Every structure is written in structure tokens, then in C-alpha cells.
């Protein structure tokens, strides 16, 4: 599958859309100046068309395709997909590429455009020339299904639901069932030598022991950092939502009662595990969701900037924004009781153990806006986002809470896309209030 390295440019429909949003941002000139570059970033700088018509989407400054990032990078284009044939085909091409990658190895998180043996490190796990990195993360399998479902509902296109897609759904369900009992049944192991502890799994590459809860195990977080405890609550929430999508597709597209029943049974088991093993009664905030648990009475109370996160629960579709337990959790994670919430002179927001202490993530600020129903909070977040990019006009990974000139990853397309999505939602809310 040879790469055709020809940069894309915005289609006429995309150009008209950008101009319309820019006109509606006249009261927010700093945001207006940034919107075009962030909206266009994925399409103009990261999508590469393959000879077979599929789309290979790099993260930005890393030449590999993450299943998670690539799906998240195009989500803000979905509203135009029904009317823009060229854009629609690029997204469809990405979905086909993601299905191909999952068929190669459902435990891998990032892939090469061809079998060139390029990778981050020579890890002790089952590597092939196609794999850039093989850190198993639940969300790597959730995102392609979510994108496919949203694309279908936006465009009405069903041509992607072929034999390959059908087999992929079964493959994902099979893997998640195995990982419900990771310690007993899983073939997966991962060791990286000569690295920080967050880049490898303890217990001889198997991760810390877990007990059965109904949830499904994850080796790594969406940050690509190792889980402290194997049941990552936000990613299990995402799996619950995606299994609902699978059940709907099985019923409406394939008319397959067995597949629908398999998806719903697993969905119920995972949700039971979340609600019975993944919550904590906090002395200040009341009942909240933990970030991780091992099913043995241990809980990790925090949130991470990467999505899925506890902050993103309504965005994922697991619970509404006004859900009482979510609101309690939100108050906790947007406070300094969350060890990765930082308050500074430039901004206040959630960071990650993946980046240095006191670094706030633009993705987290955008996600806070996407999950807010408070116009004033949204305006404050837009101000912080538009004043912490160090004059680049683009989003970064993390920046220092007191000095935005100190930042990581100048070319991080996922962050640009989430910012654009937040701006669009803000404009839509403003339109409804008029």
C-alpha cells in the first residue's frame, strides 16, 4: 500500500464553512484568528492518501497513525461529510485503513503506512513490520467503531459495513471478553527496557494482578502511559457506549441477532463493573468515579488530560452532563484534589503524568468546554486557549501554567481538532440563545 504524499487542501464546502464560523467569531478576535488553522490542521497536514484509496493519518510530529488520534482528528469534519463527497471519501478511507490495522493486530495502538519496521522502540512483545507501537489500550478499539457509527448516522452511508467490518466487531468483542479475565486468559504482555516505569508494564509485562469485575482490562491509558490498576474506568465507559453502537449496527445493518446479543451482554457486564467497582464515596465530593481500579478494593483518584477521561464522560455519551455522579466527579477533577489539576497565572486546567508537572493540556481545556453548559465558563476557556499558544496560532500538547512559552509538541493535530470542535459547539450554543 504505497503512500501518495500529496498534501490536501480544504474543499470548497469546507472553505465556506470556515468562513461562516469566522464571521460568527467577530466578538472573539483572538479565537477567530486561530480557528482556520486549527480546523484545517488535520486535513491539510496529516492526511495521506494511499494507492488503494485509504487514508493514513499521522498524529503530526510523529510519522505513525494512532487508531485513537486519527479518529479524533477527523471528528470535527463529520457535520460536512454528508454534503462533501471528497471529504466523505477521505473519512471513509480512514475507517477502511483502521479496520485493516485492527486485522493486523488488535492489541497494537499505532501503525506504519507500510511494513517498514519503523517504531518507537524494540519492545518485548509480539511485533511485526507494520507496528509502530504495541501498547494495548481499550480506546484504540473504541475510536474506529465510534467514528464509523457517527459517520453512518451523519451520511447514511452503509458501504463500510462489509465483511471486514463485521469481522472486526467480532474480533473486538472476543478480545474484550478475554481481557475481562486478563490474568487467566490473556496472551498479551509488554516490556520496554531502559525506560521510565510509565512506559512498561510491571509483573513481567503482565500488569498488576486484577480480580474479575465485569470490566475489561487495559495495559495503557490514552496517554500511552501504563495503567496503575488494570481497569481504566473512562475507557470502560467508552467501551459501553461503543458496544451499544455495535448492537445497533448488528440489528439494523446485518440483521444479526447473535452479534447484537453478544454486544449487549458484554455492555451490561462492563457497565455493572463500572458502577459497582469503579465508584468511591469521597468525603468532600460525595459519590464519584475513580480513574482506575484493580477490582480488589484499590482505587486511583485522578483524571488525565487525554480522552477518554472522566471529564469527557458526557462527550463519550456514557452519562449526561447533568448526571449527579458526573457532576460530583467533575468538581473533584477540576480541583487541586486531582493531582493533575494545575492553577497558574496563564490558565487553570488538567494536565497529565505524561508531561512535566504544572503543564496544562489544551485538549483538556477544550474538553472542559465541550462538556460545559455554562456560557461564562466556555468564554473563560476560549480566552485561555487563545492566549496560551505562544503566538503559533495552533494548539499544543501541554504548556506551563505560568509560562505558555514552555510547551510540548508544536504540531499535535488531535489538539487542534478538539479546539475546533469546541469553537463550533460554542457558536452553535450562541445561535440557540439568540
pLDDT at 358 over 90: yes
pLDDT of residue 3: 44
Is the peptide bond prior to 308 cis by the omega test (within 30 degrees of 0)? Answer: yes
DSSP state of 355: S
Question: For 91-147, how does the pLDDT look when each residue is reduced to its tens digit (9 = 90+)?
Answer: 999 999 999 999 999 999 999 999 999 999 999 999 999 999 999 999 999 999 999
Confidence of residue 2 (pLDDT cuts 50, 70, 90): very low
Q: Which region among 46-50, 77-81, 430-434 has the lowest average model confidence (pLDDT)?
A: 430-434
- What is the rounded distance in angstroms from the CA atom of residue 107 to the CA atom of residue 308? 18
pLDDT of residue 56: 97
Q: How far is CA 390 from the centre of its chain?
A: 25
pLDDT of residue 434: 61
Contact partners, residue 174, CB within 8 Å, separation at least 6: none
Q: What does the block give as the cell for 79? A: 457535520
pLDDT of residue 9: 94
Q: Name beta bridge partners: 398.
A: 361
Total number of residues shown for the chain: 434
Please give, one letter per residue, the 3-state secondary structure of 158-215.
CCCCCHHHHHHHHHHHHHHHHHHHHHHHCCCCCECCCCCHHHCCHHHHCCCCCCCCCC
Q: Which region among 6-20, 225-239, 340-354, 371-385 has the lowest average model confidence (pLDDT)?
A: 6-20
pLDDT at 271 over 60: yes
Q: Which uninterrupted H or E stretch holds 65?
A: strand 65-66
Burial class (CB in 10 A: 0-12, 13-18, 19+), 345: exposed
Helix (H, G, I), strand (E, B) or coil at 299: strand
Q: What is the average per-residue pLDDT within 347-358? A: 97
Using alpha carbons, select from 87, 61, 223 the residue that is nearest to residue 154: 87
pLDDT at 4 over 50: no
pLDDT-above-90 percentage for the chain: 97
pLDDT of residue 281: 98
Label residues 88-124 b or e (16+ Cβ within 10 Å = b).
Answer: bebbbbbbbbbbbbbeebbbbbbbbbeeeeebbeebe
Using alpha carbons, select from 270, 249, 370, 267 the residue that is nearest to residue 321: 370
Question: For 239-261, how does the pLDDT look when each residue is reduced to its tens digit (9 = 90+)?
Answer: 999 999 999 999 999 999 999 99
Contact partners, residue 103, CB within 8 Å, separation at least 6: 164, 167, 168, 171
CATH number (domain holding residue 202): 1.50.10.10
**Cα-based distances in Å from 380 to 33, 318, 366, 393:** 17, 26, 11, 18
Domain of 298, in residue numbers: 3-433
Q: What is the average per-residue pLDDT within 63-89? A: 97
Residue whose entry in the numeric block shows the C-alpha cell 478475554: 178
Average pLDDT, the chain: 96
pLDDT of residue 5: 54
Question: For 179-195, how does the pLDDT look when each residue is reduced to its tens digit (9 = 90+)?
Answer: 999 999 999 999 999 99
Cβ atoms of 79 and 30 within 8 Å: the answer is: no
Residue 208 CB coordination number (10 Å): 16
Rounded to a whole number of angstroms, the CA Rg of the chain reads: 21
Contact partners, residue 20, CB within 8 Å, separation at least 6: none
Strand order in the sheet with 65-66: 65-66, 110-111, 131-133
Q: What is the average per-residue pLDDT within 290-312? A: 97
- In degrees and rounded to multiples of 5, residue 133 shows phi and psi of -155, 145
Confidence of residue 429 (pLDDT cuts 50, 70, 90): confident
Residue whose entry in the numeric block shows the C-alpha cell 463550533: 424
Using alpha carbons, select from 301, 283, 281 the residue that is nearest to residue 291: 301
Say how many domains are in the chain. Answer: 1
Q: What does the block give as the cell for 127? A: 511485533
- What is the rounded distance in angstroms from the CA atom of residue 237 to the CA atom of residue 221? 13
Q: What is the average per-residue pLDDT within 355-362? A: 98
Helix (H, G, I), strand (E, B) or coil at 428: helix
Q: What is the average per-residue pLDDT within 33-48? A: 97
Amino acid at each position: 500500500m504505497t503512500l501518495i504524499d500529496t498534501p490536501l487542501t480544504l474543499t470548497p464546502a469546507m472553505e465556506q464553512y470556515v468562513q461562516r464560523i469566522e464571521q460568527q467569531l467577530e466578538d472573539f478576535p483572538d479565537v477567530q484568528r486561530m480557528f482556520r488553522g486549527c480546523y484545517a490542521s488535520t486535513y491539510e497536514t496529516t492526511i495521506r492518501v494511499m494507492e488503494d484509496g485509504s487514508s493514513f493519518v499521522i498524529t503530526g510530529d510523529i510519522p505513525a497513525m494512532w487508531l485513537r488520534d486519527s479518529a479524533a482528528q477527523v471528528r470535527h469534519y463529520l457535520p460536512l461529510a454528508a454534503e462533501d463527497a471528497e471529504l466523505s471519501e477521505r473519512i471513509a478511507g480512514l475507517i477502511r485503513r483502521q479496520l485493516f490495522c485492527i486485522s493486523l493486530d488488535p492489541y497494537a495502538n499505532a501503525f506504519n503506512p507500510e511494513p517498514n519496521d519503523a517504531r518507537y522502540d524494540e519492545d518485548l512483545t509480539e511485533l511485526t513490520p507494520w507496528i509502530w507501537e504495541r501498547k494495548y489500550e481499550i480506546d484504540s478499539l473504541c475510536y474506529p467503531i465510534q467514528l464509523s457509527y457517527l459517520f453512518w448516522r451523519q451520511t447514511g452511508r452503509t458501504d463500510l459495513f462489509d465483511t471486514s467490518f463485521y469481522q472486526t466487531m467480532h474480533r473486538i468483542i472476543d478480545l474484550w471478553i478475554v481481557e475481562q479475565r486478563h490474568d487467566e486468559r490473556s496472551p498479551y504482555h509488554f516490556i520496554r527496557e531502559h525506560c521510565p516505569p510509565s512506559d512498561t508494564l510491571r509483573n513481567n509485562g503482565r500488569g498488576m494482578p486484577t480480580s474479575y469485575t465485569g470490566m475489561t482490562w487495559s495495559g495503557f491509558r490514552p496517554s500511552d502511559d501504563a495503567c496503575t490498576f488494570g481497569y481504566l474506568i473512562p475507557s470502560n465507559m467508552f467501551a459501553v457506549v461503543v458496544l451499544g453502537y455495535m448492537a445497533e449496527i448488528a440489528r439494523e445493518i446485518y440483521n444479526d441477532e447473535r452479534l447484537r446479543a453478544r454486544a449487549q451482554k458484554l455492555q451490561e457486564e462492563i457497565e455493572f463493573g463500572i458502577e459497582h467497582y469503579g465508584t468511591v464515596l469521597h468525603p468532600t465530593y460525595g459519590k464519584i468515579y475513580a480513574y482506575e481500579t484493580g477490582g480488589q478494593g484499590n482505587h486511583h483518584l485522578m483524571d488525565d488530560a487525554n480522552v477518554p477521561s472522566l471529564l469527557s464522560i458526557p462527550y463519550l455519551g456514557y452519562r449526561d452532563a447533568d448526571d449527579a455522579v458526573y457532576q460530583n466527579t467533575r468538581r473533584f477533577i477540576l480541583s487541586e484534589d486531582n493531582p493533575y489539576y494545575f492553577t497558574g497565572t496563564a490558565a487553570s486546567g488538567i494536565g497529565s503524568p505524561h508531561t512535566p508537572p504544572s503543564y496544562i493540556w489544551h485538549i483538556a481545556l477544550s474538553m472542559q468546554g465541550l462538556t460545559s453548559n455554562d456560557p461564562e465558563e466556555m468564554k473563560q476557556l476560549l480566552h485561555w486557549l487563545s492566549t496560551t499558544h505562544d503566538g503559533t496560532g495552533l494548539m499544543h500538547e501541554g504548556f506551563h501554567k505560568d509560562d505558555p512559552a514552555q510547551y510540548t509538541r508544536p504540531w499535535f493535530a488531535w489538539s487542534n481538532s478538539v479546539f475546533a470542535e469546541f469553537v463550533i459547539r460554542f457558536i452553535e450554543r450562541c445561535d440557540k440563545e439568540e
